[in-house]
Amino acid sequence: MKSFPHLLSPLDLGFTTLRNRTLMGSMHTGLEEAENGYARMAAFYGERAKGGCALIVTGGIAPSEAGRVGVGGSVMNTLEEAHHHRPVTEAVHREGGKIAMQILHTGRYGYHDKIVGASPLRAPINMFRPHPLTQEEIFSTIEEFATCASLAREAGYDGVEIMGSEGYLINQFIAKRTNNREDDWGGSFENRIRFPLEIIKAVRKKVGKDFIIIYRLSMLDLVEEGGNIEEVLHLAKEVEKAGATIINTGIGWHEARIPTIAMMVPRAAFTWVTAKVKGHVGIPLVTSNRINTPEVAEEVLARGDADMISMARPFLADPDFVKKAMEGKSEEINTCIACNQACLDHIFVGKTASCLVNPRACHETELVISPTAKKKKIAVVGAGPGGMSCASTLAERGHEVYLYDAAKEIGGQLNIARRIPGKEEFKETIRYFSNKLNQMGVKLFLEKKVTADDLIAESFDEIVLATGVTPRKPEIPGIESANVMNYVDLVLHGKPAGKNVAVMGAGGIGFDVSLYLSDAGHPFTKENYLKEWGIDSSIPNNGGLTSKTETKSDRKITMLKRSSGKFGANLGKTTGWIHKTSLEDRKVEQISGVIYKSIDSEGIQIEVKGKEMKIPADTIVVCAGQNPRRELLEPLQKAGLTVHLIGGADLAAELDAKRAIDQGTRLAASL
């Protein structure tokens, strides 16, 4: 049994003794604006409090109309609004937890035409230009924060988090980048930090001494004209004097072009920033970003980088994270892999957040996993993401489940994903399902290419085909040449590639393959990450930015695609730019609007805009789509059996683990 003494030992914060040192960080879920959203929020946060999270911070709630995230965004500025939140706080308190409401004023990041800012400077990620607050409006805004905090107390919250980082309104006042005022709220650093300090003072005066005030401090802006470490330390001390209970770590503005929470960011990559503030303030410091296992959290605390750990997405992935850690069962934790596909990507297109590895997240009231009323004998064919989720959930409900796969190991296409540089976290999902399949008593048969006759002979009540996909082979003269391979041959089976490689296809698989090929073999470490993305850990002026270290590839790689237009248009909303930047830094050439003419041992002949050219290539990797594996479907249906298709067998689009796991879980919940 693993021991986590620093993670689990009590920490006296003056207001209570927490069960542990974990905080569920703020994350907008979309439930704040959804129909029946407060009941769903109550179920969501209540389940995480039951799982052992001692202090939860909600998604951002605006203190005024101007501060909303977007049209219809959540606001708390009336007693009626406060009363709507009562079910949420009561659900957390019933489970013995505490909950703080984040007060978020978006400033120039708000996506509506009433946004305001320190100055009339439009954000590069927004189409709207902010109205610069007048002196009178600044005082009104400060009072709106205080009123919002008071209403949060009325709603039953134990505290508030004042969002002062990530480039939102308060941060916009603090940084030279966004504050060019010439009055008492601009110019010198003392003037620029006046706004956050007056807000904290006003909130403390309004809510009294026994109410938690967390201040989210931007410790590393990662934008030009951002702050430096001296300013961070000075502000931290002033925040404490103003009345904050806890300081939480903020890393990077939303407009920063440096990844801070994506999968390719090393675990605990930014706790060194929080460590710089240790010893300079007397209130607890919380560190965050890419801390996703108890082992990592324990190491950070034991090292003394912070007093508490903040995790947001890990509690989406597993509401029982703390409980399992306390019981020494960390291997049973459904680990957040920082893919962003179902959480941040959903939020940025107006959908409700969820989780790739846990589709119940934010859907607790409608996706219920309950014991079956009638036990069935069920076969699941294919142990990829869809098959693993379906089989383990079926067994969890009480069914007798048989899981078959022709491969030597479970995981299916996840075994390709985990071999891509920066996507190694997918191995955690395989580890989680491996443990759950065993724990739930699923009968697993590997290296077993099951036939229709095999399945018919076993008299199964239901059969689930999660058989996945096969790579599509385009009809091009010379496609059978010895220098041609598909992405499975390359990544999964380790077939060697040459020095000049053409990649046919520019979807998610094409980008992954190009990154795999262009990786220079440098270790995936925090130090290399900081160098590659140009982060100066001494945090001088300019928000901690410095020149990037060139990432050299030992191959010449050319990506090709039939369609015209930019590459990567269909990549993840919040991570696509990272993949595009990485390949750009590695000097990967990209050609669109391609007509494939022929392939030979020297390369590939193409036509672009009526002009023919030869792309020299000793290796050609085909990433041109997939076909579903459904050969078992027809004979099983002819035999009168009930058959269900999930994952790639249902829809052979991109390798979509999110859809496969969601389908598998939902099907299992319904059978």
Is residue 92 within 8 A of residue 157, CB to CB? The reply is: no
Q: Which of 168, 215, 404, 596 is catalytic?
A: 168
Q: Average pLDDT in the 344-368 region?
A: 95
User: How high is the pLDDT of residue 13?
Assistant: 47
Q: Beta partners for 614?
A: 605
- Residue 298: HSE in the Cβ half-sphere, 13 Å Cα cutoff: 15
pLDDT band at 19 (very low <50, low <70, confident <90, very high): low
168 is catalytic: yes
Assigned token pair, 431 = 């580890």
Is the pLDDT at 520 greater than 70? The verdict is no
Is the pLDDT at 378 greater than 80? The verdict is yes
Is the pLDDT at 2 greater than 80? The verdict is no
Assigned token pair, 186 = 């601009």
d(CA 658, CA 572) in angstroms, rounded, equals: 12
Q: Average pLDDT in the 361-379 region?
A: 97
CATH superfamily label, 377-469+628-670: NAD(P)-binding Rossmann-like Domain (3.40.50.720)
Is the pLDDT at 174 greater than 90? The verdict is yes
| Alpha-helical segments (H) within 519-618 | 526-533, 576-585
Is the pLDDT at 9 greater than 70? The verdict is no
pLDDT band at 551 (very low <50, low <70, confident <90, very high): confident
Q: Average pLDDT in the 141-152 region?
A: 98
Is pTM beyond 0.85 here? yes
d(CA 288, CA 634) in angstroms, rounded, equals: 51
Is residue 68 within 8 A of residue 52, CB to CB? The reply is: no
Is the pLDDT at 15 greater than 50? The verdict is no
Q: What is the DSSP string of 253-273?
A: -TT-SS-SSSTTSPTTTTHHH
Of 5-14, 123-132, 207-216, 567-576, the poorest mean pLDDT is in 5-14
Fold designation for 5-347: TIM Barrel (3.20.20)
User: How high is the pLDDT of residue 587?
Assistant: 93
Is the pLDDT at 485 greater than 90? The verdict is yes
Q: φ, ψ for residue 58 (rounded to 5)?
A: -75, 175
CB atoms within 10 A of CB 366: 12
Domain boundaries, the chain: 5-347, 377-469+628-670, 473-624
User: How high is the pLDDT of residue 148?
Assistant: 98
d(CA 571, CA 624) in angstroms, rounded, equals: 15
Assigned token pair, 69 = 């995230």
Q: Please, which residues have CB within 8 angstroms of residue 411's CB and are 6 or more apart in sequence?
A: 383, 384, 385, 388, 418, 430, 433
Closest CA to 173 of 251, 121, 103, 102: 121
Task: Name the amino acid, one letter, at 518.
Answer: S
User: How high is the pLDDT of residue 482?
Assistant: 95
Task: Give the model confidence (pLDDT) of 489-511 as tens digits.
Answer: 999 999 999 999 999 999 999 99
Closest CA to 415 of 511, 510, 512: 512
Is the pLDDT at 521 greater than 80? The verdict is no
User: How high is the pLDDT of residue 18?
Assistant: 43
pLDDT band at 8 (very low <50, low <70, confident <90, very high): low
d(CA 312, CA 291) in angstroms, rounded, equals: 9
Closest CA to 238 of 277, 293, 290, 296: 277
Place of tokens 């830094």: 585
User: How high is the pLDDT of residue 1?
Assistant: 60
Torsion angle (degrees, nearest 10) of CA 322, 399, 437, 653: -100
Coil vs helix vs strand at 386: helix
Task: Give the model confidence (pLDDT) of 26-80 as tens digits.
Answer: 999 999 989 999 999 999 999 999 999 989 999 999 999 999 999 999 999 999 9
The three state secondary structure string of 413-432 is: CHHHHCCCCCCCCHHHHHHH
Assigned token pair, 172 = 């916009």
Task: Name the amino acid, one letter, at 460.
Answer: F
Of 364-378, 579-593, 644-658, the poorest mean pLDDT is in 644-658
CATH superfamily label, 473-624: FAD/NAD(P)-binding domain (3.50.50.60)
